[in-house]
Amino acid sequence: MTSSLVGVLLTSLNPAAVAGGADISDAVTIGETVLSRSDLVGAATSVAERVGGARRVAVLATPTPATVLAITGCLIAGVPVVPVPADVGVAERRHILADSGAQAWLGEKPEDADLPHIPVRLHARSWHRYAEPHPDSAALVIYTSGTTGPPKGVVISRRAIAADLDALAEAWQWTADDTLVHGLPLYHVHGLVLGLLGSLRTGSRFIHTGRPTPEAYAQAGGTLYFGVPTVWSRIAADENAARALSSARLLVSGSAPLPIPVFDRVSALTGHQPVERYGSTESLITLSTRADGERRPGWVGLPVPGVETRLVDDDGAPAAQDGETIARLEVRGPMLFDGYLNRPDATADVLRADGWYRTGDVAVVDRDGMHRIVGRESVDLIKTGGFRVGAGEIETVLLGHDGVDEAAVVGVPDDDLGQRIVAFVVGDAAPEILIGYVAEQLSVHKRPREVRIVDSLPRNAMGKVLKKELTRWV
């Protein structure tokens, strides 16, 4: 299927194909529940009958069969889903519900829910045939983390999801013969769109491990594994679990940069160099190393089919793609979001009329088109003493020191330098040793002016370090 023609978004659940014998007994395994394709079609269609005609519904996106059926049922009926994190605070949840205009909770609901509740009945079945909704209609409204204000609702169309999943299937050689395993949240692009919806589109089996523990991954027996760097770090520290993944076909890391020492350790123990990829809620996945291509530690690869990228400087002029120049990354492709719900001003700030999306990230691109993400323009691009320095480069060097377990680097205001480099480190190395170590490995101007030893780094649910919080620690 080409990404220009969505057809049936959840291709493997085409009722006619399932009725014609394209059924498997273990299409989705989540917790102790195993659902066949016919189970999914019948139960999700029953959900569709209960929500059909709704403007939007909220789903408390716990990793449960009810969540799988709720989201699948809404996609069958053409009702946009608003996935809500189970651990979100009351004020943020209230904002999401009010801003999205969700009319009901579908499936599980919070104890203090004040919207009507529509339960999901796991054993209910319906064989009604729904016409496929228009490809340009909204499928999901996923709320951002809200690091720069109240969370914004990212409107993602069916066409965008289909285009991205087809591009990734080509890049990763992802087919119905695969068994995909992950234990990630079902309210973000990684776990929900790539994991669940990717499996339902490609026809691969899907196993959700509940929690992404090394033991659970080792026991799952998959061919394709998704994880955030924290997951891969824990697997790298568990030799038996890591070696159990040697029978897999592909290990994929995303949602945050994979530290090079973790890449190397996973490669050594499993025999597989991890695939790294890059994207966002607004763009889905636009860059990836390939199943049949080079996997370079610290680099996120090439544009996936249908995607264009460009680097621009502070004035918007094209920047050099020489493997060294750090500049703003912009992307264009069929998987981009339609805009922020109720926020035309915010949409116009990042999504241009000609289709280019300003990612807010800074990157380096080499002459072969390989991309390395330096980080967020707001926190990872440090302008110190007239130099532009990427925090990630310093973090990679720090992680190569035996006395460092975790590292995060930020720039903080400085009257003399503009910004000074401060590193937060989990480990037992002395700060002055680490400052000298970085100065030896990199240019002297890239050394931290200060190293702070901490017990842990603040992270969100996907394992990303909350750097804005770190800057408040200085």
Q: What is the DSSP string of 369-380?
A: --EEEEEETTTT
Asked if pLDDT for residue 153 goes beyond 70, the answer is yes
pLDDT mean across residues, the chain: 93
| Token reading at 452 | 């702070």
Contact 177, 204 (CB under 8 A): yes
Asked if pLDDT for residue 184 goes beyond 70, the answer is yes
Contact 148, 343 (CB under 8 A): no
Model pLDDT for residues 415-424, shown as the tens digit of each residue: 889 899 999 9
HSE-up of 5 (CA within 13 Å, CB side)? 3
Contact 35, 67 (CB under 8 A): no
Asked if pLDDT for residue 2 goes beyond 50, the answer is no
Q: What is the mean pLDDT of residues 181-206?
A: 96
Give the residue range(s) of CATH 3.30.300.30 domains in the chain. 381-471
Alpha-carbon span 22 to 151, nearest angstrom: 41
Domain made up of 11-210: CATH architecture: 3-Layer(aba) Sandwich (3.40)
pLDDT band at residue 4 under the 50/70/90 scheme: very low
Asked if pLDDT for residue 3 goes beyond 70, the answer is no
- In terms of DSSP H, where are the helices of 194-228? 198-202, 214-220
Asked if pLDDT for residue 275 goes beyond 60, the answer is yes
Asked if pLDDT for residue 460 goes beyond 90, the answer is no
Per the rule left: phi > 0, alpha: psi between -120 and 50, beta: everything else, 83 is beta
pLDDT at residue number 89: 85
Superfamily of domain 274-376: Luciferase; Domain 3 (2.30.38.10)
pLDDT at residue number 146: 56
Give the residue range(s) of CATH 3.40.50.12780 domains in the chain. 11-210
Sheet with 57-60, strands from edge to edge, namely: 117-118, 105-106, 57-60, 81-84, 138-143, 153-157, 339-340
Model pLDDT for residues 54-93, shown as the tens digit of each residue: 999 999 999 999 999 999 999 999 999 999 998 888 888 9
Model pLDDT for residues 351-360, shown as the tens digit of each residue: 999 999 999 9
Q: Quick one: angle between helices 260-270 and 391-399, nearest 10?
A: 50
pLDDT at residue number 7: 64
CA dist 234 to 18, 228, 230, 262, Å? 39, 10, 6, 9
Model pLDDT for residues 248-265, shown as the tens digit of each residue: 999 999 988 898 889 999
At CA 373, angle to CA 367 and CA 379, rounded to 5? 140
pLDDT at residue number 19: 80
Give the residue range(s) of CATH 2.30.38.10 domains in the chain. 274-376
- Select 381-471's CATH number: 2.40.50.840, 3.30.300.30, 3.30.1330.10, 3.30.470.10: 3.30.300.30
Model pLDDT for residues 23-56, shown as the tens digit of each residue: 999 999 998 999 999 999 999 999 999 999 999 9
Q: Which of 66, 84, 176 is nearest to 124 (CA)?
A: 66
What percent of the chain shows pLDDT beyond 90?
80
Alpha-carbon span 362 to 352, nearest angstrom: 18
Asked if pLDDT for residue 105 goes beyond 80, the answer is yes
Helix (H) / strand (E) containing 226: strand 224-227
Model pLDDT for residues 166-178, shown as the tens digit of each residue: 999 999 999 999 9
Burial readout 22-58 (b: 16 or more C-beta within 10 A, e: otherwise):
bbeeebbbbeeeebebbbbbbbbbbbbebbeebebbb
Model pLDDT for residues 313-364, shown as the tens digit of each residue: 988 999 999 999 999 999 999 999 999 999 999 999 999 999 999 999 999 9
What residue type is 369 in one-letter code?
Answer: G
Alpha-carbon span 381 to 388, nearest angstrom: 7
